[in-house]
């Protein structure tokens, strides 16, 4: 994957092994010793991402820095890896105030803020330069506004939930024709389903925790995910090929309950935003480095990497009316901001 230049420098010597070891060291139940003086504000920060995801290591570091920078006035108790519920549960909790902060994939938050899915338009972004120009610019401003209409705040810059790749067991996916009739697992998201339907595949929504079995029993022929998820889910045991389609890029958004964040004094709000921004920027660099090492590791585990014809996929989507339909759904403001970065899609 292309290098990402907009991120803050990653911590020196932060290898894939260190990232995973650091994440794996996170407690199954987050319990911390309080400072001598009780915190003025004790909030929860939850994620639905597996412990091997770099975002967890960076957010855990951020909670420590926030406590230290605030002199113990605010403590964020960290609950990674769906300890407090599924993604759907966590969205409900952050909107109601059951938890105060949540890291969530853009594709997931789009279930309650449909406009957030504009970053998931198929074969739109082709490089990380485009991604960060858009997400740190007009595209990101549009998405933030859409998410905040759903009743929560976006508390930090977007982090990287990776470009997604197609895996398969029986044949490599190199052209749109290879997807005709192909049974592929996708997340519960209309823009994912419509992408693969437009390419002639048969998309099926299956929870990630059921994906390995679905591939093993051939309920589906393949799936699509970032390399981190492919490795953490051990999908290399039941798949043979990885097509580096980069067909969808997905962000992570760090959300805050509006009322809880508003209760924080201005100086604490600034500390929280600053440290969560730092976590997101550092995680961007982590993912690029991690994907580079994962490609080598996954190839060693038997996965064959394929270079598909991406231009052919984009052309097929344009001919199917996929871009026209989503332009109408998102509206001219969102589509103009996207095309200003990625070029014409119709």
| Secondary structure string (H, E, C) spanning 19-46 | HHHHHHCCCCCCCCCCCCCCCCEEEEEE
- 209, pLDDT greater than 90: no
pLDDT at 2: 35
pLDDT at 213: 96
Whole-number average pLDDT of the chain:
91
Name the least confident of 6-10, 64-68, 105-109.
6-10
Judge whether 333 and 125 are in contact, CB under 8 Å.
Answer: no
pLDDT at 318: 97
Task: Please check whether residues 154 and 171 belong to one and the same domain.
Answer: no
Q: How many CB atoms lie within 10 A of CB 296?
A: 10
> Which structural domain, as residue segments, surrounds residue 232?
165-247+301-342
SS3 324: helix
Output the domain CATH number for residue 313. 3.40.190.170
Residue 273 lies in a domain: yes
Task: Please check whether residues 23 and 124 belong to one and the same domain.
Answer: yes
Could you tell me the pLDDT band of residue 346, with boundaries at 50, 70 and 90?
confident
Tell me how many domains the chain contains: 2
Task: Please check whether residues 139 and 277 belong to one and the same domain.
Answer: yes
Q: CA–CA distance from 95 to each of 150, 172, 258, 335 (Å)?
A: 8, 42, 8, 27
Task: Please check whether residues 188 and 214 belong to one and the same domain.
Answer: yes
């Amino acid at each position: 994957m292309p290098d990402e230049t907009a991120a803050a420098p990653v911590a020196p010597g932060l290898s894939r092994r260190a990232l995973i070891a650091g994440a794996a060291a996170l407690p199954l139940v987050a319990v911390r010793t309080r400072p001598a003086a009780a915190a003025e504000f004790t909030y929860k920060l939850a994620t639905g991402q597996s412990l091997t995801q770099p975002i967890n290591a960076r957010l855990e570091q951020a909670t420590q820095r926030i406590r230290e920078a605030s002199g113990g006035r605010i403590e964020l108790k960290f609950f990674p890896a769906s300890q407090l519920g599924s993604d759907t549960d966590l969205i409900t909790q952050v909107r109601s105030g059951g938890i105060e902060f949540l890291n969530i994939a853009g594709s997931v938050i789009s279930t309650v803020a449909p406009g957030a899915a504009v970053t998931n338009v198929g074969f739109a972004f082709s490089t990380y330069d485009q991604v960060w120009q858009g997400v740190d610019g007009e595209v990101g401003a549009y998405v933030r506004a859409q998410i905040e209409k759903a009743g929560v705040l976006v508390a930090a810059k977007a982090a990287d939930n990776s470009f997604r790749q197609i895996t398969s067991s029986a044949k490599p996916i190199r052209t749109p024709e290879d997807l005709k009739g192909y049974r592929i697992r996708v997340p519960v998201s209309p823009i994912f389903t419509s992408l693969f339907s437009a390419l002639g595949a048969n998309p099926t929504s299956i929870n990630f925790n059921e994906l390995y079995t679905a591939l093993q029993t051939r309920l589906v022929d393949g799936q699509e995910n970032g390399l981190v998820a492919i490795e953490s889910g051990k999908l290399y045991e039941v798949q043979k090929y990885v097509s580096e389609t980069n067909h969808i890029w997905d962000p992570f958004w760090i959300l805050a309950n509006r009322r809880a964040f508003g209760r924080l004094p201005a100086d604490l709000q600034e500390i929280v935003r600053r440290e969560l921004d730092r976590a997101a920027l550092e995680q961007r660099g982590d993912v690029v480095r991690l994907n580079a090492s994962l490609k080598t590791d996954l190839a060693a585990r038997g996965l064959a990497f394929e270079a598909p014809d991406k231009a052919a996929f984009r052309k097929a989507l344009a001919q199917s009316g996929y871009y026209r339909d989503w332009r109408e759904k998102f509206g001219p403001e969102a589509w103009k901001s996207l095309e200003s970065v990625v070029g014409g899609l119709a």
